[in-house]
Amino acid sequence: MMDIKTLVRKALEEDIPITDITTDSIIPEGMKGRAVLLVKEDCVISGIEIFSAVFEELGGVDIEFNVGDGDFVPSKTEIAYLRGNLRAVLKGERTALNFITLMSGIATQTRKYVEAVEGTGVKIVDTRKTHPLLRLLEKKAVRDGGGFNHRFSLSDGILIKDNHIAVAGSIKRAIELAKRAHYLLKIEVEVQRLFQIEEAIEAGADLIMLDNMEEEDIRRAIEIVRGRVPIEVSGGVNLENIRRIAQYKPNFISVGRITHSPNSVDMSLEVVKRK
C-alpha cells in the first residue's frame, strides 16, 4: 500500500519533473506571502492531511485549517490560510487542489447517499471501483462522508462472484473450495437470480449480495432470506431509487459511483495581493 508521503512525492514529480519554469521566472527566490483556500460550492471536506503533505514535502509553507475532515462547509468559505515561501505555494497549488477537491467530491457525494437512507438502518458502503493508487484516499473520503468501507483489497475478504461460480461449476462448489482454503473467514456470495439464494445459504454463505437485481426482485429476495444472513444490495443504485430500496430493509447498500465517478468540488487557492 502506497503511503501518503510516497503518493505526494510521486505526484509532485509528475507535475514538476525538473522545475516550475513559470514560477521560477516570475517569483523571486525566498519571497514570502499569503494565500487562502476558498470553497466555491457547498461540500463536505476531505483531504486535509494530504493537502498539507504536499506543502510539507515542498517546505517553507505553514498552513492553518479552520475546518476538519467530515465537516459540511457552505460555498464561499475560506477554509485554510497558507503563509510562507510563495514559490512553494504556487508549485504545490495544483497537486494539492487535485487531491482535496477529489476527496471532498467523494465525501460530498457519499453524504448525499447517507442522508437519503437516514432512519432506515441501512449502511452505505463503497466498492473497489476506485482510481488506481488512490484507494487509500478515496476510501478515507467515503468515511468522511459518513459511509463505510467494503473490502480494501482482494486480500481482505472472500467475495464469490459470478465468474468464480462459473469456473467452480456451482455456488455450492465455490463455497466449499473457499471454506477449505480459509475456513475461519466469512464468505459473501453474489447472486443475480432468486433461485440462487437458497443454494448459497444452504452451502454456508455468511452474507448475500444481490447484484443488479430489479427492485421487485430485491424485495422478494429479502423475504426469501428472512433475516438468516445479512444482505447487501449492489448495482443500479442512485439517489432517485435508493430510499425505496432501503425501505425493503437490506443491511447494506454498496454504491460504486461515489468513488468511480465523483464530481470534484470547486475550490481555488488564491494568493493574497501584496500591498
199-225 confidence digits (pLDDT tens): 999 999 999 999 999 999 999 999 999
Kindly state the average pLDDT of the residues 251-273. Answer: 95
Nearest CA among 159, 167, 140, 143 for reference residue 49: 140
Catalytic site residue 176?
Answer: no
pLDDT > 70 fraction of the chain, expressed in percent and rounded: 99
58-97 confidence digits (pLDDT tens): 999 999 999 999 999 999 999 999 999 999 999 999 999 9
Among residues 112, 129, 143, 151, the one annotated as catalytic is 129
Cα end-to-end span (Å), the chain? 46
Element (H, E) at 112: helix 86-116
Question: Which pLDDT does position 52 carry in this prediction?
Answer: 98
Question: Which pLDDT does position 2 carry in this prediction?
Answer: 75
Asked whether the beta carbons of 83 and 34 are under 8 A apart, the reply is yes
Asked whether the beta carbons of 123 and 134 are under 8 A apart, the reply is no
Among residues 161, 172, 220, 257, the one annotated as catalytic is 161
Catalytic site residue 15?
Answer: no
Question: Which pLDDT does position 1 carry in this prediction?
Answer: 66
Among residues 9, 34, 83, 94, the one annotated as catalytic is 94
Catalytic site residue 91?
Answer: no
Domains and CATH numbers, the chain: 4-110+263-271 (3.90.1170.20), 114-260 (3.20.20.70)
Catalytic site residue 76?
Answer: no
175-187 confidence digits (pLDDT tens): 999 999 999 999 9
Q: What is the pTM of this model?
A: 0.95
Catalytic site residue 161?
Answer: yes
Say if residue 275's pLDDT is above 90. no
Among residues 20, 69, 190, 232, the one annotated as catalytic is 190
24-69 confidence digits (pLDDT tens): 999 999 999 999 999 999 999 999 999 999 999 999 999 999 999 9
